[in-house]
Structure 1
Amino acid sequence: MLYDFHYLIRTDVRKKSRESREMEEDLPQGAGVYVQVPFCPDRCDYCAVPVSVSTAMVSRYLAALALEAQKVAGLLADTSPVSLYIGGGSPLSLPREALLRLLKILAPFFPKGEVPEVTVESRPEDLDVETLEILRRIPGIRLSLGIEGGSREELDRLGRRSAYLEPLALLRRLRREIPEAAISMDFIVGEETGSEDRLLATARELLSEGLDHLSVYPLVVESRTVLALRKSQGQTSESLEEEAAARWVEICRALSAQGWNRYEVSNFSRDPESVCRHNRHVWQGGDYLGIGAGAHQRRGRKRRENVRSVSEYVRMIEGGLDSYGLTESLSENAYDIEYLYGNLRLSEGISAGWLKEKVGDDSYEFLHSEFVRMDVLDQNRTNSQRLVLNDRGFSLLDSLVLMILEKKESSDSLASP
């Protein structure tokens, strides 16, 4: 049976008492919800995400997910989340009935039928006719496609065990078959391969064809991955990550020159309305709730992380236990660091008033002067209310944050009795 998502939204709604809490005026209201679906047919060489390549646990996992979802939905009272992000793994690689079951589990998050944005991650080859028919019924649907490489050769070099589908042809097909969907594509920039021009040419064509969103990440060698093993055995360049980072910086600058709206360090949108609302909400310091193995959540300064193991997560939920592997209360300083880092990585920048309050007026003026000297500010957007980085500033983000934190530490020391 093919479920209509609007119908699912209207059924099984539970009334909740509203939980009151104070929020800072400059924080985004509401909460985003992230759902982890840790199943994928293959594990790529660079992947460090805890996923299962077997579907044996899918049914029990979804049953556990349903129990946790009921509890998490209660934290929202009778309001809808600002966004729903279904990630993985590869959610759309689930068996068809399991996918329908997942959507039914998540329907109560929208008691009023309001669905601002529902992002679903997918491998390109999982988008068959039946799956697209299911997705077509989800209002606010946004597809995030892991393209990763611009050719079969690049996918092989990355250790990406996935079929290669030409991005432009894929976009044109999706525009025909699911015209209401917002489409995003992810790419990984690896070592020098001579394919830089191909990626930029592809990005230019995708922009002209109306792709909504583009994410471009430098290759990172994560521990306990096949890629890390390959590097340790001398099968890749010792400077793999450095080469990838250098290429990534140049590619990101070129994408901005093409007309892509770089609204975050690694994310580009067709226009200001095409950004990923869920991720921007999190970067701006908004609350987010997490469901599933390895999922994170933060409400105010309270942060929790579920256990990463699929079997352990299922065992704990089935036993009536909380599935948290980590629970912590962030100090004011730790919270400020997250807020600082998250907002500086966005094209809206950070509140000048907030920064002055944290470091003091004199230190703020010093930092502003230094940033002007270093040519890391977007002069068209930086003003008395906001401090905004340019492309060069994004590439030096870690160093700039460190400069601010040193001034903040000095200010805190002076304020201490």
Structure 2
Amino acid sequence: MPSALPVGGPAPADGVLPEQALTGAAARMFSLYAHIPFCAVRCGYCDFNTYTATELGGGASQDAYAATAASEVTFAARAMEESGLPARTLGTVFFGGGTPTLLPASDLTAVLAAAVAAWGVVDGAEITTEANPDSVSPDSLQELADGGFTRVSFGMQSAVPHVLRVLDRTHTPSRVPQAIEWARNAGLKVSVDLIYGTPGESEADWETSVRTALSYQPDHISAYALIVEDGTKLAAQIRRGQVPRIDDDDHAAKYALADGMFEAAGLSWYEVSNWARTPDDACRHNLAYWRGDDWWGIGPGAHSHIGGVRWWNVKHPTAYAGRLAAGLSPAAGRETLDAGTREMERIMLLTRLSGGIAVNTLSTGAKHEIARLIADELIDPRAAFAGHLVLTLRGRLLADAVVRRLLED
């Protein structure tokens, strides 16, 4: 969740949604995202809306945060009911950050319990928390599992100490397998996150990180290219020449290397940056984003989307807590997407999935582009002839260019 908020119109203080949000709502999955904005230290590459404990106080403090977040759950449930939305149980819940596991496990389970009380959860719901390997213990992970969590996503990023230092990651690589073992003993599914393309990371370094991650036999791996955001410590270091600039060719080579290693180890890609051991191990919460389902995001700076209506909360935790304490929506702004924008986003997101996008749902101009995309080895010809546009490995490396070509008619 980038720290800069979009520009939109005003959001109503009561949180009530327009009629557009109701159309087709019963057929869409409903999810909850809970943003936990605390970190022990700010990583040099991070542009997310996070704060260290010393930066905050009052209702925004770590001690008070669970109750504040639970109050937004209550607000959200009331706003949805007053909007006339059909009653729906939660299909997925995802706690992200920040570092959610900086809070006591009892706080996270309390927020989850508030959500379950408000909406309920479907049988077999996926309930995930992100975690740093050094922010968990056997007892905390067992408490999360006992409280309803089913999955933990560890921010491994790299197995190479000098790469972790550039990223300002605080954990030691040896802590990762220990944390994964604890999670498994608690009955939790395990995902690990990796980052490639860090300045100074060699191809051998990256291969070491991938091989090490695979040795832990996770259910799921996410691998993201490092993006240098303006205003971050890393951006300043690159600008001053203290670390090398990002290289797109290096990114492409490392993506291809990882994809081959993941596939050989039995993990298949299901989204451009995500691989799962089985279809059931794919992150259902993120699939809800890519498929345009509905979710309410609680927490400072959190984004929400229901039926083409999108809104985002105020960024600072103190302002967030203050608005909720006054009985007001914490939303800073809102936009209602028109049909053209929704179609553009549908193509942009579904194209990234291994299931692809149905050719018969594309415009005439986009259909005419398919033969050229096949000739350029960007989409799978067999899938296209069967009625779905699916990216090849080369297409995944150039996914943004494929989307632009589909939208150019």
For Structure 1 versus Structure 2, the TM-score category normalised by the shorter chain is: 0.7 to 0.9
Encode CA deviations 1:280-329: one digit per residue, 9 max, x unaligned. Answer: 11101111211111111111111101111111111222222221112011
Per the alignment, in what secondary structure is the counterpart of residue 202 of structure 1? Answer: helix
Taking structure 1 as reference, are residues 261 and 334 closer, same or farther at Cα in structure 2, changes over 3 Å only?
Answer: same
Name the counterpart of 2:77: 73
Matches within 5 A, 1:37-56: 37-54=36-53, 56=57
Structure 2 counterpart of 1:335, one-letter code: R
Per the alignment, in what secondary structure is the counterpart of residue 375 of structure 1? Answer: coil
1:21 equivalent in alignment to 2:26: no
Structure 1 residue 165: deviation in Å?
Answer: 3.0
Per the alignment, in what secondary structure is the counterpart of residue 64 of structure 1? Answer: helix
Taking structure 1 as reference, are residues 150 and 163 closer, same or farther at Cα in structure 2, changes over 3 Å only?
Answer: closer
Name the counterpart of 2:257: 251
Structure 1 counterpart of 2:208, one-letter code: R
Structure 1 counterpart of 2:248, one-letter code: E
Name the counterpart of 1:202: 212
Name the counterpart of 2:30: 31
1:372 equivalent in alignment to 2:379: no
Per the alignment, in what secondary structure is the counterpart of residue 201 of structure 1? Answer: helix
Taking structure 1 as reference, are residues 364 and 98 closer, same or farther at Cα in structure 2, changes over 3 Å only?
Answer: closer
Per the alignment, in what secondary structure is the counterpart of residue 288 of structure 2? Answer: helix
Structure 1 residue 184: deviation in Å?
Answer: 0.2
1:105 equivalent in alignment to 2:114: yes
**2:192 and 2:220 in contact (8 A); partners too:** yes
Query: C-alpha separation between the residues in 2 aligned to 1:111 and 1:246?
Result: 43
Taking structure 1 as reference, are residues 197 and 203 closer, same or farther at Cα in structure 2, changes over 3 Å only?
Answer: same
Structure 1 counterpart of 2:211, one-letter code: A
Structure 1 residues 229-238 or 241-250, which shifts more?
241-250
**1:150 and 1:198 in contact (8 A); partners too:** yes
Taking structure 1 as reference, are residues 135 and 170 closer, same or farther at Cα in structure 2, changes over 3 Å only?
Answer: same
Name the counterpart of 1:282: 289
Structure 1 residue 41: deviation in Å?
Answer: 1.2
Taking structure 1 as reference, are residues 215 and 242 closer, same or farther at Cα in structure 2, changes over 3 Å only?
Answer: same
What is the aligned counterpart of 1:265 among 269, 272, 292? 272
Name the counterpart of 1:158: 167
Name the counterpart of 1:64: 68
**1:168 and 1:205 in contact (8 A); partners too:** no
Per the alignment, in what secondary structure is the counterpart of residue 96 of structure 2? Answer: strand
Query: C-alpha separation between the residues in 2 aligned to 1:374 and 1:300?
Result: 36
Name the counterpart of 1:386: 388
Structure 1 residue 128: deviation in Å?
Answer: 0.6
Structure 1 counterpart of 2:325, one-letter code: E
Structure 2 counterpart of 1:286, one-letter code: D
Per the alignment, in what secondary structure is the counterpart of residue 117 of structure 1? Answer: strand
Query: C-alpha separation between the residues in 1 aligned to 2:369 and 2:402?
Result: 9
Name the counterpart of 1:82: 91
Encode CA deviations 1:347-388: one digit per residue, 9 max, x unaligned. Answer: 010121211xxx22xx34421101110111234533443211
Taking structure 1 as reference, are residues 134 and 125 closer, same or farther at Cα in structure 2, changes over 3 Å only?
Answer: same
What is the aligned counterpart of 1:320 among 327, 342, 346? 327
Structure 1 residue 49: deviation in Å?
Answer: 0.9
With normalisation by structure 1, the TM-score equals 0.83
Per the alignment, in what secondary structure is the counterpart of residue 242 of structure 2? Answer: coil
Query: C-alpha separation between the residues in 2 aligned to 1:308 and 1:299?
Result: 20
Query: C-alpha separation between the residues in 2 aligned to 1:236 and 1:316?
Result: 42
Tell me the C-alpha RMSD between the 2 structures: 2.4
Encode CA deviations 1:61-104: one digit per residue, 9 max, x unaligned. Answer: 33332221112234375431110011111111114553443333
Taking structure 1 as reference, are residues 289 and 309 closer, same or farther at Cα in structure 2, changes over 3 Å only?
Answer: same
Per the alignment, in what secondary structure is the counterpart of residue 406 of structure 1? Answer: coil
Taking structure 1 as reference, are residues 306 and 244 closer, same or farther at Cα in structure 2, changes over 3 Å only?
Answer: farther
Query: C-alpha separation between the residues in 1 aligned to 2:349 and 2:132?
Result: 27
**2:379 and 2:391 in contact (8 A); partners too:** yes
Q: Name stretches of at least 5 consecutive residues in structure 1 with no aligned partner.
A: 1-18, 408-417
Matches within 5 A, 1:282-301: 282-301=289-308
Query: C-alpha separation between the residues in 2 aligned to 1:244 and 1:34?
Result: 33
With normalisation by structure 2, the TM-score equals 0.85
Per the alignment, in what secondary structure is the counterpart of residue 36 of structure 1? Answer: strand
Query: C-alpha separation between the residues in 1 aligned to 2:286 and 2:122?
Result: 22
Structure 2 counterpart of 1:234, one-letter code: G
Taking structure 1 as reference, are residues 109 and 119 closer, same or farther at Cα in structure 2, changes over 3 Å only?
Answer: farther
Structure 1 residue 115: deviation in Å?
Answer: 5.0
Taking structure 1 as reference, are residues 354 and 195 closer, same or farther at Cα in structure 2, changes over 3 Å only?
Answer: same
**1:307 and 1:313 in contact (8 A); partners too:** yes
Query: C-alpha separation between the residues in 2 aligned to 1:286 and 1:100?
Result: 24
Structure 1 residue 229: deviation in Å?
Answer: 1.5
Query: C-alpha separation between the residues in 2 aligned to 1:266 and 1:112?
Result: 27
Name the counterpart of 1:412: none
Query: C-alpha separation between the residues in 2 aligned to 1:67 and 1:174?
Result: 29
Encode CA deviations 1:252-277: one digit per residue, 9 max, x unaligned. Answer: 43235423210001000011121000
Per the alignment, in what secondary structure is the counterpart of residue 116 of structure 1? Answer: strand
**1:268 and 1:275 in contact (8 A); partners too:** yes
**2:142 and 2:183 in contact (8 A); partners too:** no
Higher relative contact order (CA 8 A, sep 6+): 2
Query: C-alpha separation between the residues in 2 aligned to 1:187 and 1:131?
Result: 23
